[in-house]
């Protein structure tokens, strides 16, 4: 089983790395991060704050775009090329195919995010004339961004298990936007009350709280991220990623591929 998962994941990683769109997105993200110090000059005295906010925003934005556009095409491309039938004709379970695809894309995102993070730290070091002890909080912010990408990858694969790439991308982007406004939704529900409030509150617990994983403002001002928040975000991300993958497996197991 492990050998089959590793083989599918490695093949997915190779395919994703060869994707030209992927290279263009990573290049543009690195360009944005590298250009951040130039924009920071506009705001004298807050160059580093501006740099950290812009750099982290670029990493999460382009990471999510990669997760969605690559993730939503993983299953459909295999069906269109008819390579899926060859894979499933061998002793490979459908759940192994889905999990292997997820692991391969997660590895791709880990490599791409590491490249963008390296450029980000170079830009931070340039702006602040070296790295300082407080900059360790940037690693926490990058870790939480990684959690967001793991969740978005799982959601992209979930939607791709039953829908077309276009609709899967639309659904995934909608989940990303809603997930960043979960706290606002809960605040609205608390103020409104009644059936509408209950509905909004219920919806807010169905989607991952991605907004809680965004600590760019805190780390930009040198504020430490509480350990309780890191643990809560980790548990939240793992729960939704596992739930989305389980749903994707259940749907894919029952999907008629003929």
DSSP of 42-60, one letter per residue? TSTT-HHHHHHHHHHHHHH
**Look-up of token digits 């089983």:** 1
Give the contacts of 203 (CB within 8 A, at least 6 positions apart). Answer: 178, 185
Confidence class for position 45, pLDDT limits 50, 70, 90: low
Give the contacts of 16 (CB within 8 A, at least 6 positions apart). Answer: 22, 70, 104, 105, 108
pLDDT value of position 213: 92
| Comparison of pLDDT for 246 and 1, the residue scoring more | 246
pLDDT value of position 80: 72
Residue 70 pLDDT > 70: yes
Alpha helix locations (H) across 42-181? Answer: 47-71, 74-80, 83-89, 94-127, 136-160, 165-179
| Comparison of pLDDT for 72 and 193, the residue scoring more | 72
pLDDT value of position 236: 93
Burial of 138: CB neighbours in 10 Å, binned 0-12, 13-18, 19+: buried
pLDDT value of position 16: 72
Full residue range of the structural domain in which residue 235 is found: 2-254
Confidence class for position 230, pLDDT limits 50, 70, 90: very high
Q: What is the mean pLDDT of residues 235-241?
A: 94
pLDDT value of position 113: 87
pLDDT value of position 158: 92
Span between the terminal Cα atoms of the chain, in Å: 25
Least confident of 81-90, 106-115, 171-180, 232-241: 81-90
| Comparison of pLDDT for 33 and 120, the residue scoring more | 120
Residue 153 pLDDT > 80: yes
- How many residues appear in the chain? 258
Q: How far is CA 65 from CA 46, 60, 112, in A?
A: 28, 9, 12
Residue 232 pLDDT > 90: yes
Q: What is the mean pLDDT of residues 188-211?
A: 80
- Residue 233 CA to residue 256 CA, distance in Å, equals 36
pLDDT value of position 250: 92
pLDDT value of position 173: 93
Q: What is the mean pLDDT of residues 145-162?
A: 92
Reduce the DSSP state of residue 221 to 3 states and report it.
Answer: coil
* Count of domains for the chain: 1
Least confident of 54-68, 77-91, 99-113, 240-254: 77-91
pLDDT value of position 43: 55
The structure tokens listed for 27 are 């290049």
| Element containing residue 31 per DSSP (H, E) | helix 20-40
Q: What is the mean pLDDT of residues 197-209?
A: 82
Residue 216 pLDDT > 90: no
Burial of 67: CB neighbours in 10 Å, binned 0-12, 13-18, 19+: buried
| Comparison of pLDDT for 4 and 136, the residue scoring more | 136
- Residue 198 CA to residue 195 CA, distance in Å, equals 5
């Amino acid at each position: 089983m492990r050998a089959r998962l590793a083989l599918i994941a490695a093949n997915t990683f190779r395919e994703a790395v060869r994707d030209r769109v992927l290279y263009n997105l990573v290049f543009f993200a690195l360009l944005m991060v590298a250009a951040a110090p130039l924009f920071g000059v506009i705001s004298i005295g807050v160059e580093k704050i501006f740099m950290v906010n812009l750099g982290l925003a670029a990493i999460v934005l382009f990471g999510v775009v990669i997760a969605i556009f690559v993730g939503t095409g993983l299953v459909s491309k295999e069906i269109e090329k008819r390579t899926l039938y060859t894979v499933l004709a061998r002793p490979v379970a459908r759940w192994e195919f889905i999990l292997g695809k997820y692991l391969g894309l997660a590895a791709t995102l880990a490599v791409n995010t590491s490249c963008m993070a390296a450029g980000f730290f170079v830009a931070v070091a340039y702006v602040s004339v070296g790295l300082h002890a407080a900059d360790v909080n940037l690693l926490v912010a990058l870790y939480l961004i990684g959690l967001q990408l793991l969740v978005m990858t799982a959601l992209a694969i979930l939607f791709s298990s039953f829908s077309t790439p276009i609709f899967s991308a639309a659904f995934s982007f909608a989940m990303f936007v809603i997930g960043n406004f979960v706290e606002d939704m809960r605040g609205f529900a608390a103020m409104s009350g009644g059936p509408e409030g209950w509905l909004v509150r219920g919806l807010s617990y169905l989607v991952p709280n991605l907004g809680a994983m965004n600590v760019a403002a805190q780390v930009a001002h040198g504020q430490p991220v509480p350990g309780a928040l890191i643990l809560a975000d980790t548990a939240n991300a793992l729960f939704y990623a596992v739930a989305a993958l389980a749903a994707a497996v259940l749907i894919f197991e029952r999907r008629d591929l003929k």
